[in-house]
Structure 1
């Protein structure tokens, strides 16, 4: 099985190299990127593919189109920055793996700030013992934050708070308990729901999941629950009450979608749960795998691709 995976990744890496040298693809990239930025763009794609073994098995068009959307929005694909991700998804309908474009919560913040409407924008996890009072009617929140940053980071999360204030003074706030966020994740993420949801997350946090079963919990709701919760808070707040720029509307519309050459989107993770008919529109998978590529996997050569593309 490991040998087969290695060969599959090698084959896809070669396909990506060939795909990037196609004249139509070069034209498509130049229309979005253009000029000297083309070298940086190609390098970012190659780097993402090299660092994410599962991404090496995705179709080349889905990788490039996801990256092009991020580039058009002037967002970075770096996992460290967390603005957007190219996420491998197993599209069983097509019998292949495709890369989804997924907006990170820091991408929401970037796009909202650039619109020029927001004087203040904030989202944070509320730790145990910090919330004094929240009045949803008047949207007033009172908290007593833990002063010690290290102690605060180690404290369990009990809820999530988000707010924005326009330049004209209009202000909106939102608070969800962690219990409400867990219910939201179980309703809208099939990957989270089908693998035990809140109970499995609790076991993961306690280190009680056997190493051999860890592959089941690659959803971001398991890997980075707080990060997904912060994204959800911003999406709930801005999409319902915020002013959205064209870029932000475009990002939200294409969030968690596979983007095709004609610009159309395919939400391949909208699948039906067998038990109770829950429909998922947020099934998330691992973006960055910790382990290196399988031995013998041939990676695309960034310099070779760039020389062919821009030579």
Structure 2
């Protein structure tokens, strides 16, 4: 009869300890699974699989501290937002050997819509002649007719059901500075991706900036409020499911970078297919 030797048992324990410190091993721990179960309920298993998928499909994230990947994912889970990088709701961004949580512009839109307080909101590319300041200090504007095809900036606005309005204008020069600072792809001007792509990304940025600074958002719990507060930070989740946040540097603006927008299901290590839009596990019947 074959017996397990002390050396074999020791090797097995070492392997188990190493696996417990990996992303997959940590996500398999009872405490962390329970934390996600408490947040997401029945959607927990699919969301955890999507975390593994996101990390395994990004070489830099694969090298990041698993505790920070899980912490970032948990912030998105608290807000009930998918973390598929292609969708723009929430991102897990590699930053050195750590991962950062970043709320995308679609995430801000989703939280704004959930609040039920908006009559209208949006963002537009502004052409010469269409806008000028009436009072810059009070953000009061005069609106006119377009006089040329020259882009001068980007404009975001919202109107609440109670009548409150807020506007934000960012000049094209300031938006170019933002792109140079926070985009991996951007090299200068507006021709790098084509003017249309630059304008689209700039509209996302100005709307996100307006909603994040001035807009009422649906934050139903203390945990959700903390997730908003932790936007752009490194959040670790320990083995007991507790959070620790830090802000130790700048990162890219995920909304101002190009991602593959394909919604093709992705597979995690065990071959399980994950719906790119919802993070749910797909069965053969689906």
Task: Report runs of 4+ in structure 1 exceeding 6 Å deviation.
Answer: 11-14, 285-290
For residues 257 and 176 of structure 2, the distance between their equivalents in structure 1, rounded to whole angstroms, comes to 21
Pick from 245, 248, 260 the counterpart of residue 268 of structure 1: 248
Which of structures 1 and 2 has the larger relative contact order (alpha carbons within 8 angstroms, sep 6+)? 1
For residues 234 and 53 of structure 2, the distance between their equivalents in structure 1, rounded to whole angstroms, comes to 20
Matched residue count: 237
Counterpart residue number, 2:40: 33
| TM-score, normalising length: structure 2 | 0.67
CA contact (8 A) 2:131 2:141 kept: no
User: What's the CA shift for 1:85?
Assistant: 0.6
CA contact (8 A) 1:172 1:241 kept: yes
Rg (Cα) greater in structure: 2
Unaligned runs of 5+ in 1: 1-10, 91-96, 147-154, 208-223, 270-280, 291-298, 307-311
| TM-score, normalising length: structure 1 | 0.63
User: What's the CA shift for 1:16?
Assistant: 1.6
Unaligned runs of 5+ in 2: 1-17, 261-267, 273-279, 281-286
Counterpart residue number, 1:105: 105
Counterpart residue number, 2:141: 139
Does residue 172 of the first structure (1) align with residue 160 of the second (2)? no
Counterpart residue number, 1:162: 156
User: What's the CA shift for 1:72?
Assistant: 1.4
Q: CA RMSD in A?
A: 3.9
For residues 43 and 227 of structure 1, the distance between their equivalents in structure 2, rounded to whole angstroms, comes to 31
Counterpart residue number, 1:246: 219
User: What's the CA shift for 1:184?
Assistant: 5.0
Map 1:1-311 onto structure 2 (within 5 A). Answer: 15-34=22-41, 36-90=42-96, 97-126=97-126, 129=127, 131-137=129-135, 138-142=140-144, 144=146, 158-184=152-178, 189=181, 200-202=187-189, 205=192, 229-246=202-219, 249-261=225-237, 262-269=242-249, 281-284=250-253, 300-301=269-270, 303=272
CA contact (8 A) 1:52 1:288 kept: no
For residues 83 and 124 of structure 1, the distance between their equivalents in structure 2, rounded to whole angstroms, comes to 20
Distance 1:265 1:131, change over 3 A: farther
Counterpart residue number, 1:274: none
Distance 1:240 1:64, change over 3 A: closer
Deviations 1:209-254 (CA, angstroms, capped at 9, x unpaired): xxxxxxxxxxxxxxx8656644542354235443344367544411
